[in-house]
Structure 1
Amino acid sequence: MLHSTTLHRSALVLLLGTALIAPAFAQSDSITIVVTDEPKSLDPCDTDLSNNARILRNNVTETLVNLDPANGEVVPSLATEWRQVDELTWEFKLREGVTFHDGTPFDAAAVAAALTRAGNADLACEVGLATLSGNVFTPEVVDAQTIRIKTGTVEPILPNKLSTLDIGAPSTPADAKTREPIGTGPYSLAAWNAGQNVQLVSYDGYWGDKPAIANATITWRAESAVRAAMVDTGEAQIAYEIAPQDATSANDHAFPNAETSLLRIDQSIAPLDDKRVREALNLAIDRDGLIGTIFHQDAQKAMQVVLPSVFGYNPDIAVWPYDPDKARSLLEEARAAGTAVDTEIVLYGRIGIYPNSSESMEAIQAMLLDVGFNVRLEMMETTPWLEKLIGPFPADRPPSALQTQIDNTEGDAVFTLPNRFTSGGNTSTIADPALDKLIADASAATGDERQSLFRQAFNYIAVDAINIVPLFHMVTIARVSPDLNYVPDVQAGNEIKLATMSYK
């Protein structure tokens, strides 16, 4: 089998050779952006998955509010103002003079339809299964520019949550997913050429400032070296997720991306139902050895799945040490107690989830084998990996740990914990009533009580129950053409902000 470095070099030589024959340089009215993989969906209700959101969010579709990347504050978008009417009711005033790409006026009825559609269980919308799960949202149209949203239980930060609800046109099918999103954003969908690219074109009727670049193409390549070379040859102007070893150019920009990498433990399946085994998983990993080699040198060791900037983060949880001897001892202790520690555990990884994703899992597999685990690595493309990530899960599944990332650009722990760590969460492999109650109580609380309860929840996950194998708070590298005005921010992993880009 060829070493990955050989593959990188071969791909790079091939791409450069092609470029020498027919170089492709951008025109002032067009831009090409290369990402790691194709979107799973372009439905407005599926933007809780980042590879969908980065194409749609604030390009094709928009939300009622946005979050300021500098400080996480809620700022106007399709809504211009909002207020809490009572404990269970919020009111939003909508922007006037906005139309969808099909000419339909944007109004309160459109918001109500989008919210209702997102909560339709039969559609299995990602935003409904994740951010908006665990509550009932009832829209009430007051007039064309005013909507009230009533909730089944208290939602003290409902505006923050609605920053994840992309509004599609009323013509969007109510009972089926669409591949042709119609939004209010600065760009409309020109084509989704399956397996090749997505093409966007600026919308002449946009309510805001006209984008400086009229045509955008988003394409995908799995290899970091290929993505980087595409910018160097003029085939693309931005390439995301450049691996540290490929970041050799002054045009490479490193930035924190709000993602935390981890292994999700399927702890209901033996031998992972033994806490000692889960602790041994954590102690077996040399995180210091991974930083600056496989992971970026600025990656920070993690103990919980949100960054310190997120409300509810617990500063008192120490990161796991590397202690292979104790890991071996814990496995022997579990074996003596009757736990079948020699059972094969599958490590499920996703190709391209971040740079060096395969190499990172190979290194972790070697570390686990070294302390006595019986582990098998299975790297997958995005679609089969999503089947492992999202429930319901088959009862006869093997014990496993899943490579994943969790992002939180919304600034509050409620955007992370309910979906991923409660019994009803669609990506959760945990069924723990005590944790369910702790997260539910925190989600309904405010102020100091909210912060205290969320901190307790993070401590419970990381220390008391050991539900995860946290790895790193991540750093992303983007290669940007020197001819382009664009500086990636913390939201760049979820949003390709085309309207902010221009040529020098």
Structure 2
Amino acid sequence: MQIASLRSPRRRIAGVLATSAVALLTVSGCSVANTTQSESASPDTLRIVLPQEPPTLEPCDASLTATGVVVRSNITEPLIERNPTTGELQPLLASGWKQVEPNVWRFTTVSGVKFSNGATFDAEDAAFSIKRTFNGAIGCDVNGYVFDDSKTEVNVVDPNTVEVRTEAPDPILPLRLSFIEMVPRTTDPDAKVRQPIGTGPYMVDFWDSGQRIALKANPNYHGDAPQFNRAIYQWRGEGSVRAAMVTNDEADLATSLGPEDGAGDLGTAYVNNETTALRMQGTDAPLDDIRVREAIAYSINRDGIVDALFQGLGKPAGQLVGKGIVGYNDQVTPTAYDLDHAKKLIDEARADGVPVDRTIRLIGRTGQFPKINETIEAIQFSLSKIGLDVKIEMMDTSGQMQYQTRPFVPGSGPVLLMIMHGNQAGDTQFTLDQYMLSDGYQSTFGTTEYDEEIRKAEALTGDARQNALAQVLADEPTKIRQYAYIAHMEAVLAKSPKVAYQPNSATGDEMRLAEMTHATSSND
């Protein structure tokens, strides 16, 4: 499977360390929590600061960003991995795979690989890991994200061969399996684990809950030993604090920064695979009128938001997936910013009896991305200029998720929901099934005709698949218009000059420690 190359531009973020961040560090004595002086000073230890503590290190939850950034490709590995730059599927714990029947894929596992506990990896472990992921008692996040409710049969043919049979032909099954991390067959099949065993270059040393997680080099690793033999993860909620820890040499890398966080010359911008959009709940008036939804799309000043609020770190969006994703349509352009046309659409709807004066709730998640509050306020102001009454409601993650995923809050009224979607898998199907189908997990409505168009496109392969999926994305604004797309986002990573590492579109979801090396100069 070939996917268009995704470029990850690297540019320095100019800026000066915020005085408030320095003051906070001075008052709180911000340092690597519980890290000894020898660990801090060791050139063989990576010190990484994240925005939040991972909720779990369970491998089958590695599709959660906060978990995957520690676990994926560090502690555990999949049969197949996707190159985040080229999109190509590459062998890892599987040396090869092929479709032997319309509904059956066969995978050949590699030989000579051991888990960090010394046990040998083979097809039995691969089959166990796949079956465990489907175990409803565990509730693996990757199961809901990557797979549907159809039945899947997994069989071991011999010690190096495993077959997966699906109910219907699945042209992207190898891509789906790239999200299943391999664990030994001795892993508890009915409960999640706290300290996973894997085949990756690192293994868990310890986890001080609320403080830090330490990884150490896996002595049984089948590949080249990583240059850094330890990694210490900690977490700080404020981006300015994370950036300051790198500039003060208290951390080597800091993730999920904004351009205003003060990383200065140590900041590197990169495409982070995320797209922001307003989801419009088209089941409630006045949002059930497509003219109103169209007017909302026309009222968003995407260029202004990207330039003024994101400081140029992003690109106005006209679809929910970005470059490098199968199905991305390079002919789709963002909806124009046209307040006069938007107001005309609202006036037409009002004249036809649509209750456009009804209060619309604009819901956002606190801290979802840098400058989210200002972004939402700018959108509210534009919507007021076209005659809509919009009320902003900022919520924490748990509150906002009640409106983002099914079952939705009943009787919530007309809702505009700020979302940020990152397609980790590399194929538009994972976006369509969740966000576009009528009954999608994160979709509020749709049509039978559009659902059928989606399903037909998803059954194809190769160029036909790319073209059909691209057409589905092009049709959404005219046939459905559930989304007012805002921007394809970029993120900032702060990096010590002592570490050489080039972030890519997958960095926010799986930051591969083995790709980090000792810098030969301050320009690396």
TM-score, normalised to structure 1, is: 0.91
1:426 corresponds in structure 2 to 441
- Of residues 45-54 and 403-412 in structure 1, the stretch that sits farther from structure 2 once superposed is 403-412
- The one-letter code matched in structure 1 to 2:343 is R
Which residue, 287, 309, 313 being the options, matches 2:324? 309
Cα deviation, residue 9, structure 1: 4.3
1:27 corresponds in structure 2 to 42
1:10 corresponds in structure 2 to 20
Q: Following superposition of structure 1 onto structure 2, how do residues 386-401 of structure 1 map, counting pairs within 5 Å?
A: 386-401=401-416
- Of residues 345-354 and 152-161 in structure 1, the stretch that sits farther from structure 2 once superposed is 345-354
Cα deviation, residue 66, structure 1: 1.0
Contact 1:212-1:499 within 8 A present in 2 as well? yes
2:375 corresponds in structure 1 to 360
2:147 corresponds in structure 1 to 132
- The one-letter code matched in structure 1 to 2:105 is W
2:299 corresponds in structure 1 to 284
Matched, 1:231 2:241: no
- Taking only aligned residues, the RMSD between alpha carbons, in angstroms, comes to 2.5
Distance 1:45 1:20 in 2: 33
Q: Deviation digits for residues 312-346 of structure 1, max 9, x if unmatched?
A: 22233231111122222222322333333233322
Cα deviation, residue 449, structure 1: 2.8
- The one-letter code matched in structure 1 to 2:204 is L
Matched, 1:161 2:176: yes
Query: Are residues 93 and 485 of structure 1, via their aligned partners in 2, closer, same or farther at CA, if it must alter by over 3 Å?
Result: same
Cα deviation, residue 88, structure 1: 1.4
Matched, 1:212 2:227: yes
Distance 2:348 2:405 in 1: 33
Query: Are residues 279 and 75 of structure 1, via their aligned partners in 2, closer, same or farther at CA, if it must alter by over 3 Å?
Result: same
1:493 corresponds in structure 2 to 508
Contact 1:133-1:419 within 8 A present in 2 as well? no
Distance 2:429 2:397 in 1: 26
2:197 corresponds in structure 1 to 182
Matched, 1:412 2:427: yes
Distance 1:172 1:9 in 2: 49
Q: Following superposition of structure 1 onto structure 2, how do residues 323-402 of structure 1 map, counting pairs within 5 Å?
A: 323-402=338-417
- Of residues 51-60 and 195-204 in structure 1, the stretch that sits farther from structure 2 once superposed is 195-204
Cα deviation, residue 424, structure 1: 4.0
Number of matched pairs: 498
Query: Are residues 49 and 427 of structure 1, via their aligned partners in 2, closer, same or farther at CA, if it must alter by over 3 Å?
Result: farther
- The one-letter code matched in structure 2 to 1:240 is T
Cα deviation, residue 94, structure 1: 0.8
Aligned with 2:383: secondary structure?
helix
Distance 2:112 2:141 in 1: 29
Which residue, 471, 474, 477 being the options, matches 1:456? 471
Contact 2:322-2:328 within 8 A present in 1 as well? yes
- Of residues 313-322 and 479-488 in structure 1, the stretch that sits farther from structure 2 once superposed is 313-322
Q: Following superposition of structure 1 onto structure 2, how do residues 105-116 of structure 1 map, counting pairs within 5 Å?
A: 105-116=120-131
Cα deviation, residue 122, structure 1: 4.5
1:260 corresponds in structure 2 to 275
Query: Are residues 39 and 404 of structure 1, via their aligned partners in 2, closer, same or farther at CA, if it must alter by over 3 Å?
Result: farther
Contact 1:129-1:426 within 8 A present in 2 as well? no
Query: Are residues 39 and 96 of structure 1, via their aligned partners in 2, closer, same or farther at CA, if it must alter by over 3 Å?
Result: same
Amino-acid identity (%)? 37
1:147 corresponds in structure 2 to 162
Aligned with 1:333: secondary structure?
helix
- The one-letter code matched in structure 1 to 2:167 is G
- Of residues 48-57 and 164-173 in structure 1, the stretch that sits farther from structure 2 once superposed is 164-173
Q: Deviation digits for residues 351-410 of structure 1, max 9, x if unmatched?
A: 332222333223223322333322222333333333433322233233222222222354
Aligned with 1:226: secondary structure?
helix
Distance 2:268 2:29 in 1: 23
Contact 2:18-2:262 within 8 A present in 1 as well? no
Q: Following superposition of structure 1 onto structure 2, how do residues 472-487 of structure 1 map, counting pairs within 5 Å?
A: 472-487=487-502
- The one-letter code matched in structure 1 to 2:515 is T
Distance 2:255 2:118 in 1: 34
- Of residues 388-397 and 493-502 in structure 1, the stretch that sits farther from structure 2 once superposed is 388-397
TM-score, normalised to structure 2, is: 0.88
Distance 1:20 1:393 in 2: 40
- Of residues 445-454 and 50-59 in structure 1, the stretch that sits farther from structure 2 once superposed is 445-454
- Of residues 455-464 and 146-155 in structure 1, the stretch that sits farther from structure 2 once superposed is 455-464
Contact 1:131-1:419 within 8 A present in 2 as well? no
Cα deviation, residue 18, structure 1: 5.5
Gaps of 5+ in 2: 1-16, 520-524
Cα deviation, residue 57, structure 1: 0.7
Aligned with 1:245: secondary structure?
coil
Contact 2:77-2:93 within 8 A present in 1 as well? yes
2:10 corresponds in structure 1 to none
Gaps of 5+ in 1: 1-6
